[in-house]
Amino acid sequence: MNTTGAYVIVMLLAGLGIPVMAALNGSLGARLDSPALAAAILFSVGLVVAVTFLLITAGMPSTLIAPDTPWYYYLGGFFVMFYILSITWVAPRFGVANAVSFVLLGQLVAMSVIDHYGLFGSKQFEISFQRIAGLILMAVGILIVLAKPSEV
Protein backbone atom coordinates (compact mmCIF):
# COMPACT_ATOMS: atom_id res chain seq x y z
CA MET A 1 0.00 0.00 0.00
CA ASN A 2 1.29 3.46 -0.87
CA THR A 3 1.56 6.32 1.62
CA THR A 4 -1.58 8.05 0.35
CA GLY A 5 -3.60 4.86 0.78
CA ALA A 6 -2.32 4.48 4.35
CA TYR A 7 -3.26 8.08 5.14
CA VAL A 8 -6.74 7.55 3.71
CA ILE A 9 -7.30 4.43 5.82
CA VAL A 10 -5.98 6.01 9.04
CA MET A 11 -8.12 9.13 8.59
CA LEU A 12 -11.18 7.09 7.62
CA LEU A 13 -10.77 5.09 10.83
CA ALA A 14 -10.32 8.34 12.79
CA GLY A 15 -13.50 9.67 11.20
CA LEU A 16 -15.37 6.50 12.10
CA GLY A 17 -14.17 6.88 15.67
CA ILE A 18 -15.54 10.40 16.16
CA PRO A 19 -19.24 9.49 16.31
CA VAL A 20 -18.42 6.36 18.34
CA MET A 21 -16.51 8.51 20.83
CA ALA A 22 -19.36 11.05 20.85
CA ALA A 23 -21.93 8.34 21.60
CA LEU A 24 -19.79 6.66 24.27
CA ASN A 25 -18.76 9.86 26.02
CA GLY A 26 -22.23 11.40 25.71
CA SER A 27 -23.74 8.33 27.34
CA LEU A 28 -21.07 8.32 30.04
CA GLY A 29 -21.70 12.00 30.75
CA ALA A 30 -25.45 11.37 30.97
CA ARG A 31 -24.97 8.37 33.32
CA LEU A 32 -22.56 10.33 35.50
CA ASP A 33 -24.78 13.42 35.23
CA SER A 34 -21.63 15.36 34.41
CA PRO A 35 -20.28 16.03 30.92
CA ALA A 36 -17.21 17.58 32.55
CA LEU A 37 -16.44 14.40 34.52
CA ALA A 38 -16.91 12.29 31.39
CA ALA A 39 -14.54 14.61 29.51
CA ALA A 40 -11.97 14.39 32.33
CA ILE A 41 -12.16 10.59 32.23
CA LEU A 42 -11.81 10.62 28.43
CA PHE A 43 -8.74 12.85 28.62
CA SER A 44 -7.21 10.78 31.42
CA VAL A 45 -7.52 7.62 29.34
CA GLY A 46 -6.26 9.54 26.29
CA LEU A 47 -3.26 10.87 28.22
CA VAL A 48 -2.25 7.37 29.30
CA VAL A 49 -2.57 6.10 25.72
CA ALA A 50 -0.67 9.09 24.25
CA VAL A 51 2.20 8.91 26.76
CA THR A 52 2.49 5.14 26.30
CA PHE A 53 2.56 5.58 22.51
CA LEU A 54 5.17 8.35 22.85
CA LEU A 55 7.45 6.26 25.05
CA ILE A 56 7.14 3.17 22.84
CA THR A 57 7.68 4.97 19.53
CA ALA A 58 10.03 7.83 20.38
CA GLY A 59 11.29 7.39 23.92
CA MET A 60 11.53 10.15 26.49
CA PRO A 61 11.60 13.56 24.80
CA SER A 62 14.46 15.91 25.64
CA THR A 63 12.19 18.97 25.66
CA LEU A 64 8.50 19.85 25.74
CA ILE A 65 8.94 23.21 24.05
CA ALA A 66 10.36 23.53 20.54
CA PRO A 67 12.50 26.62 20.03
CA ASP A 68 11.01 29.41 17.91
CA THR A 69 7.55 27.84 17.97
CA PRO A 70 4.67 30.33 18.18
CA TRP A 71 2.79 30.10 21.49
CA TYR A 72 -0.53 29.47 19.77
CA TYR A 73 0.72 26.16 18.35
CA TYR A 74 0.19 24.81 21.87
CA LEU A 75 -3.53 25.69 21.94
CA GLY A 76 -4.71 22.56 20.11
CA GLY A 77 -5.68 21.03 23.45
CA PHE A 78 -8.09 23.91 24.06
CA PHE A 79 -9.96 23.13 20.84
CA VAL A 80 -10.00 19.40 21.55
CA MET A 81 -11.30 20.09 25.06
CA PHE A 82 -14.02 22.39 23.70
CA TYR A 83 -15.02 19.70 21.22
CA ILE A 84 -15.09 16.94 23.83
CA LEU A 85 -17.07 18.98 26.35
CA SER A 86 -19.52 20.23 23.74
CA ILE A 87 -20.11 16.85 22.06
CA THR A 88 -20.44 15.14 25.45
CA TRP A 89 -23.07 17.66 26.54
CA VAL A 90 -24.90 18.12 23.20
CA ALA A 91 -24.98 14.59 21.70
CA PRO A 92 -27.34 13.01 24.27
CA ARG A 93 -29.72 15.99 23.97
CA PHE A 94 -29.51 16.73 20.23
CA GLY A 95 -28.56 13.31 18.85
CA VAL A 96 -25.18 11.97 17.78
CA ALA A 97 -25.98 12.36 14.07
CA ASN A 98 -27.12 15.97 14.49
CA ALA A 99 -24.14 16.90 16.65
CA VAL A 100 -21.50 15.20 14.52
CA SER A 101 -23.01 16.48 11.27
CA PHE A 102 -22.66 20.09 12.36
CA VAL A 103 -19.16 19.38 13.65
CA LEU A 104 -18.38 18.00 10.18
CA LEU A 105 -19.75 21.13 8.51
CA GLY A 106 -17.66 23.30 10.83
CA GLN A 107 -14.59 21.22 10.02
CA LEU A 108 -15.16 21.63 6.29
CA VAL A 109 -15.46 25.40 6.55
CA ALA A 110 -12.41 25.67 8.84
CA MET A 111 -10.26 23.40 6.68
CA SER A 112 -11.10 25.48 3.62
CA VAL A 113 -10.05 28.72 5.34
CA ILE A 114 -6.90 27.14 6.81
CA ASP A 115 -5.91 25.67 3.44
CA HIS A 116 -6.72 28.84 1.49
CA TYR A 117 -4.50 31.03 3.66
CA GLY A 118 -1.95 28.35 4.60
CA LEU A 119 -2.57 29.09 8.27
CA PHE A 120 -0.50 27.58 11.08
CA GLY A 121 2.18 26.33 8.69
CA SER A 122 -0.27 24.27 6.63
CA LYS A 123 0.22 23.62 2.95
CA GLN A 124 -1.67 26.26 0.98
CA PHE A 125 -4.46 25.30 -1.42
CA GLU A 126 -6.35 28.25 -2.85
CA ILE A 127 -10.11 28.09 -2.59
CA SER A 128 -11.62 27.17 -5.92
CA PHE A 129 -15.07 27.08 -7.41
CA GLN A 130 -14.87 23.29 -7.18
CA ARG A 131 -14.15 23.40 -3.44
CA ILE A 132 -16.92 25.95 -2.83
CA ALA A 133 -19.35 23.75 -4.78
CA GLY A 134 -18.21 20.76 -2.72
CA LEU A 135 -18.82 22.66 0.52
CA ILE A 136 -22.31 23.63 -0.64
CA LEU A 137 -23.04 20.03 -1.65
CA MET A 138 -21.77 18.79 1.73
CA ALA A 139 -24.00 21.29 3.55
CA VAL A 140 -26.99 20.19 1.49
CA GLY A 141 -26.04 16.56 2.10
CA ILE A 142 -25.95 17.15 5.84
CA LEU A 143 -29.39 18.74 5.70
CA ILE A 144 -30.72 15.77 3.71
CA VAL A 145 -29.14 13.26 6.10
CA LEU A 146 -30.64 15.06 9.09
CA ALA A 147 -34.09 15.68 7.59
CA LYS A 148 -36.93 13.62 8.93
CA PRO A 149 -38.35 11.31 6.23
CA SER A 150 -41.50 13.43 5.95
CA GLU A 151 -39.39 16.57 5.28
CA VAL A 152 -37.52 15.20 2.25
pLDDT at 30 over 90: yes
8 Å CB contact between 144 and 152: yes
Residues 99-133: pLDDT tens digits?
A: 999 999 899 999 999 999 999 989 999 999 999 99
DSSP 64: S
pTM for this one?
0.82
pLDDT at 14 over 60: yes
Q: How confident is the model at residue 152 (pLDDT cuts 50, 70, 90)?
A: low
Query: Residue 17 is part of which domain span?
Result: 3-151
- In the chain, % of residues over pLDDT 90: 79
- What is the crossing angle of helices 76-94 and 35-57, to 10°? 140
- In the chain, % of residues over pLDDT 70: 99
CA 145 to mean position of chain CA atoms: 20
Number of domains in the chain: 1
